[in-house]
Amino acid sequence: MAPYKRTFSTGGDPVVASVDFYDFATGTGFKDFYFMDNITGAGTQGHILTPNASYYSTTGFTSVTDPAELDVDFDIDLEIPFTLEGEAVFNVFFASGQAYSASVEVNIKRVTSTGTEIQVGTEVSETITWNNDTKVFSGKYTIPKTSFKAGEKIRVIVSSGSLGGGGRTLRVLHDPKDRDVSGTGTFLSSLSKISLPVNLQL
């Protein structure tokens, strides 16, 4: 079936957007965003969400060593108004070369132009046990209708609970090319991503 096309008025030239039949019927389009690290000014490493399966710019993972806890922000900068509504689905991969257990958490927030964070959705894992391997935290949450203004951010925060002492190390993997950056004996995947429900306002 050919995609449905609608012309949107933007105050200038018309813009034609294509959506498939399911998106048209539900009024929601689902867009995948990959977790990725990114070099910003002066060589500082930041983290972004990108719709493109780009090569990682540095390591393809972010690690933390106990007693610190994992806390990494992945952002999308919005240049136009944007509305989320519906069920978001994510897969985030974690790796450790040691044997221990911990819980992890994935939050999604709206960040205003002044930097204020507003909670949109959150999901906490059951206890995950690593043993020199990679594990995935897969989850979903229902996002209420949430409107973002131009200049705001969508932020996904990946965090962990206590690693339990002993200098243990935990990595969150974020290589859109899905290469083995785990540093462990058993590799599963490094393709962390989230599918966001975009209200198409048809």
Average pLDDT of the chain to the nearest whole number: 83
Residue 126: pLDDT band with limits 50, 70, 90: very high
Calpha distance 103→58 (Å, rounded): 26
pLDDT of 44 over the 90 cut: no
Residue 26: is its pLDDT beyond 80?
A: no
pLDDT at position 14, please?
42
- Average pLDDT for 132-153: 94
Q: State yes or no: pLDDT of 12 exceeds 50.
A: no
Q: What is the pLDDT of residue 97?
A: 92
- Residue-level pLDDT at 67: 86
Q: E strands of 125-175, at which residues?
A: 128-148, 153-160, 169-173
Per-residue model confidence as pLDDT tens digits over 63-97: 999 888 999 999 999 999 989 999 999 999 999 99
pLDDT in tens, 145-185: 999 999 999 999 999 988 887 888 999 999 998 999 999 98
Q: How many CA atoms lie within 13 A of 126 on its CB side?
A: 2
**Calpha distance 187→114 (Å, rounded):** 40
In 3-state terms, what secondary structure has residue 23? helix
Q: Which residues contact 2 (CB under 8 A, 6 or more apart)?
A: none
pLDDT higher than 70, residue 129:
yes
Higher model confidence: residue 13 or residue 84?
Answer: 84
pLDDT band at 191 (very low <50, low <70, confident <90, very high): very high
Distance CA 140, CA 135 (A): 17
What the chain holds in terms of domains, given with CATH numbers, is: 30-199 (2.60.120.260)
